Structure 1
Amino acid sequence: MLAKEIIKKIKDAESNITSVIFVGCGASKADLYPAKYFLEENSTKIRTSLYTANEFNYATPKAVNSNCIVITASLGGTTPETVQATSKAKSLGAYVITLTHKKDSPITKDADYVIVHGFEKSYAEKLEKMIYALQLAVEILNQFEGYANYEEMINGFNNIYDLIEKSAATVLPQAKEFANSYKDENVIYLMSSGATHKVAYSTSICLLMEMQWMNSGSFHDGEFFHGPFEIVDKDVPFILFMNEGKTRPMDSRALTFLKRFGAKTTVIDAKDFGITSVISEKVADYFSPMLISGIFRVYAEQLAIARNHPLTKRRYMWKLEY
């Protein structure tokens, strides 16, 4: 069922939605962030929040009731904390939508609506979860409050898949150079802002710490000058994800400082890949994280090859009880 149809069904049943809560773990939580960011920035009436699943389970917000939409996500649909959160939201009367790659997986059991997304076939398909979550947020805003840039967002959804694929196909030389340059680093720091903030976070905790066993840290580049910039020095490794949109000046300010002191810096810039040639400047902010994520996946794959450490390799995850 499409996002537009799901939200219409919810609105037909409950016209007074006051809260939308996004719930997930790790990369799935980060995939929900652009939707949360969009709704928080544009809604004047709806309370919006994003929870890691066990926080939701242990400290459940009182707003979870029949006036609330809870959107949960789990790639395989088996993440125990998120499965529990989905059931808890349902038991409290919320309208529950879940995003997963596995039809009929445990997370779908107590969901009112299920969107099954792709993953394996392409770089763009790996971003479907993030894209579908944003579509839900756009429909919630437009149907419950109205949204002036709705058509621009629809055009963005129509064009983002091709843009991701075409962009990812161009970066293999740069990705190989990055991999050979960063493969032996003791720590790598990541920064971004706006809707892409949590892409930097998930790249740090998932692609580097989980999948490569590399020490890493991430922070919002608006916070860079309020503590983290003290560790900048010549050849200290950074990755900066630059947005095309309202928060770009923060990204640019951080980049200027990194260059000033000779930090080892890799930049993935949405602007370099022509995002505003196919998506309106009015809404390009919200599509930058999908584009940057798709491009950096190529970099992650090449890093795994250079380190002889497959992205699927784990030491603890799925291997023992924890």
Structure 2
Amino acid sequence: MNSKEIVQEIMQKNEVDSVFFVGCGASKADLYPAKYFLDQNAKKIRVSHYTANEFNKSTPLSVNEHAIVITASLGGATPETVTANSVAKEKGAHVISLTRTVDSALTKEADYVIYHRFGENYAAKLEKTGYALELAVEILQQTEGYNHYEKMIDGFSKIYNLSQQSAESARLEAKKFAQAYKDDSVIYVMSSGATHEVAYSTSICLMMEMQWIHSGTFHSGEFFHGPFEITDKDVPFVLLMNDGKTREIDARALTFLERFDAKTAVVDALDYGLSSVIDAEVIDYFNPMIITAVFRVYAEELAIAREHPLTKRRYMWKLSY
């Protein structure tokens, strides 16, 4: 079943007034654009975004038969997220799970499973984010209606090819970034809008988990409310810059970084032609996908320059924790 059919079937059973997005780490972050879309456009639907174990330990009362719980785990075995499915089912919620692994633990108590790809190419790595966003669009369209529904559908038909092309074209800039940043002991990452948690996952996963580089992340709009005090010449920052409503927020942060000659790498959706293929009314929700694809190349080149593979771990999957 596709997203439209899944939502139609749920609506035939119950009215929906709440949507919960639940996951851990990068999978949690991959759900954020869908959450952001509903926050921006839903008038009545209640929307929440949880790390799985908090959802399990402090479950909202509104998790019931009128709620949809959307969970995600790349390998389908993240224990906290698997438990979240059980918790949601126990409360009577409709559970939709996103994973790439057929018959994984995450699929056992899900009412619906959407399988995505990951390793095939850069576009495939975006499918989890994209499918979650498609679900959000369908939920809104089938509950309240959405004036830009067709523009979103058109965007989905174009974003994967554009993101793949953008990633492939970013290799030279990525190599420059890697050489410039390979010896840094800390790298700060920021963004805004729907891309806010791309910055978060870049920081906690690509930098801290996969490269063992100290990192902090914050919303570009929050930069001036504390974090900007550490700005100085050659302090390393990565700014993931959006094309759309929050661009001015990112631009303000960039102006300050440049004013004090901070070491700044900018990945800008505008540079990759997002506005040439996505309608201005919905462009905000596609920024995370193109930026994710491009920065993955940056991370790959950083790993090569540091002689530290992205797959290398000290603790994850090796210890009980």
* TM-score, structure 1 normalization: 0.99
Aligned to 1:2: 2
How many residues align? The count is: 321
Aligned to 1:35: 34
1:105-124 aligned at under 5 Å gives the runs 105-124=104-123
CA distance in 2: counterparts of 1:290 and 1:228, whole angstroms:
26
Q: Superposition RMSD on alpha carbons, in Å?
A: 0.5
Instruction: Render the CA deviation track for 1:198-248: whole Å, top value 9, x for unaligned.
Output: 000000000000000000000001100000000000000000001111111
Aligned to 2:65: 66
- Where 1:222 maps in the other structure, the secondary structure is helix
Aligned to 1:52: 51
In structure 2, what residue type is equivalent to 1:10? I
Aligned to 2:79: 80
In structure 1, what residue type is equivalent to 2:192? S
Aligned to 2:248: 249
In structure 1, what residue type is equivalent to 2:293? G
Is the counterpart of residue 214 in structure 1 residue 203 in structure 2? no
Aligned to 2:263: 264
1:123-162 aligned at under 5 Å gives the runs 123-162=122-161
CA distance in 2: counterparts of 1:204 and 1:252, whole angstroms:
20
Unaligned runs of at least 5 residues, structure 2: none
Aligned to 1:187: 186
Instruction: Render the CA deviation track for 1:242-281: whole Å, top value 9, x for unaligned.
Output: 1111111100000000000000000000011110111101
Is the counterpart of residue 104 in structure 1 residue 73 in structure 2? no
CA distance in 2: counterparts of 1:116 and 1:104, whole angstroms:
10
Percent pairwise identity: 67
Runs in 1 of length 4+ with deviation above 4 angstroms? none
CA distance in 1: counterparts of 2:279 and 2:111, whole angstroms:
33
Unaligned runs of at least 5 residues, structure 1: none
In structure 2, what residue type is equivalent to 1:310? P
CA distance in 2: counterparts of 1:152 and 1:276, whole angstroms:
13
CA distance in 2: counterparts of 1:170 and 1:76, whole angstroms:
29
CA distance in 2: counterparts of 1:287 and 1:101, whole angstroms:
21
Instruction: Render the CA deviation track for 1:79-127: whole Å, top value 9, x for unaligned.
Output: 0000000111011100000000101100110000000000011101001
Aligned to 2:203: 204
CA distance in 2: counterparts of 1:276 and 1:155, whole angstroms:
13
* TM-score, structure 2 normalization: 0.99
CA distance in 1: counterparts of 2:9 and 2:247, whole angstroms:
37
- Where 2:53 maps in the other structure, the secondary structure is helix
* 1:316 CA displacement: 0.1
Is the counterpart of residue 13 in structure 1 residue 13 in structure 2? yes
* 1:12 CA displacement: 1.1
Is the counterpart of residue 93 in structure 1 residue 98 in structure 2? no
